[in-house]
């Protein structure tokens, strides 16, 4: 950040009084510019024993498989964001959403939140951010072609939980990892 979004003057980095972190501060209008993590919201959508995955049509990880998910927008709840992203990426309407996994990804300043949900009806299709959308049995999940570690972790938890028919909320944090699967 170089300029204040309030008054347009240059900003500097310093620790404001009463704070413990380096922040961008405008010396003209004294605005402190906080930078906070982004929330990624999505859904693990099931139809019977199958899971819905989307092949990404955009970077990062173009051509890799993922759960429908994306950045939360201002003015919406996490659940609304998860529903919206599922409609945008998989043209799918959902029912019975249950919070399922919350994964901190601190090295890229993100938090990934996934809901477990059932497809409402039978309709789904590739949205503008997806090359294709497909239902997969557990044995057919393209594990080596998954876009993000948060998706892998959520799917692994789901298949383990499905065996027990108990679906707790899973929370964890990802350490920095290989650049190709860091989220």
| Cα R_g (the chain), whole angstroms | 19
Residue 157 and residue 72 in one domain? yes
| pLDDT score at 176 | 78
| pLDDT score at 104 | 97
The CA-atom distances, in angstroms, between 10 and each of 6, 7, 33, 36, 86 are 11, 9, 12, 20, 40
Residue 64 and residue 137 in one domain? yes
| pLDDT score at 92 | 98
Determine the number of helices (DSSP H) and then strands (DSSP E) in the chain: 2, 11
Residue 5's domain spans which residues? 1-35
Residue 13 and residue 85 in one domain? no
pLDDT above 90 covers a percentage of the chain that reads 95
Residue 168 and residue 129 in one domain? yes
Q: What is the CATH number of the domain that holds 172?
A: 3.90.79.10
What is the band of 180 on the pLDDT scale with cuts at 50, 70, 90?
A: very low
| pLDDT score at 177 | 62
Residue 71 and residue 31 in one domain? no
Residue 19 and residue 75 in one domain? no
H or E element: which one contains 19? none
Other Cβ atoms less than 10 A from the Cβ of 178: the count is: 7
Does the pLDDT at position 178 exceed 70?
Answer: no
Residue 87 and residue 29 in one domain? no
Nearest to 136 by CA among 58, 41, 66: 66
CB 169 within 8 A of CB 102: yes
Mean pLDDT for the chain overall: 95
Q: What are phi and psi of 63, to 5 degrees?
A: 85, -5
What is d(CA 62, CA 43) in angstroms, rounded to the nearest whole number? 19
Residue 104 and residue 88 in one domain? yes
What is d(CA 88, CA 183) in angstroms, rounded to the nearest whole number? 20
Does the pLDDT at position 183 exceed 80?
Answer: no
The CA-atom distances, in angstroms, between 24 and each of 6, 39, 105 are 12, 21, 23
Give the number of domains in the chain.
2
Does the pLDDT at position 182 exceed 80?
Answer: no
pLDDT above 70 covers a percentage of the chain that reads 96
Residue 56 and residue 99 in one domain? yes
Pair of tokens at residue 154: 């959520």
| pLDDT score at 181 | 47
| pLDDT score at 102 | 98
Residue 21 and residue 110 in one domain? no
Q: What is the CATH number of the domain that holds 4?
A: 2.20.70.10
Mean pLDDT of 114-143: 97
| pLDDT score at 155 | 98
Residue 58 and residue 94 in one domain? yes
- pLDDT tens for 50-109 read 999 999 999 999 999 999 999 999 999 999 999 999 999 999 999 999 999 999 999 999
Residue 31 and residue 84 in one domain? no
H or E element: which one contains 159? helix 149-164
């Amino acid at each position: 950040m170089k300029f204040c979004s309030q008054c347009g003057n240059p900003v500097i980095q310093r620790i404001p009084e009463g704070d413990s972190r380096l922040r961008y501060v405008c010396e003209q209008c004294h605005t402190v510019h906080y930078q906070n993590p982004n929330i990624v919201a999505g859904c693990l959508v099931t139809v019977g024993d199958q899971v819905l995955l989307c092949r990404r049509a955009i970077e990062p990880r173009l051509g890799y498989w993922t759960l429908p998910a994306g950045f939360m927008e201002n003015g919406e709840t996490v659940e609304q964001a998860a529903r919206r992203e599922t409609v945008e990426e998989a043209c799918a309407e959902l029912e019975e959403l249950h919070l399922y996994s919350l994964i901190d990804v601190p090295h890229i300043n993100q938090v990934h939140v996934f809901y477990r949900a059932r497809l409402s009806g039978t309709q789904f299709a590739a949205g503008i951010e997806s090359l294709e959308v497909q239902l997969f049995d557990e044995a057919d999940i393209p594990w080596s072609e998954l876009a993000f570690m948060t998706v892998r972790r959520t799917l692994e938890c789901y298949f383990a939980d499905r065996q027990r028919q108990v679906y707790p909320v899973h929370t964890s944090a990802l350490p920095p990892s290989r650049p190709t699967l860091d989220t």
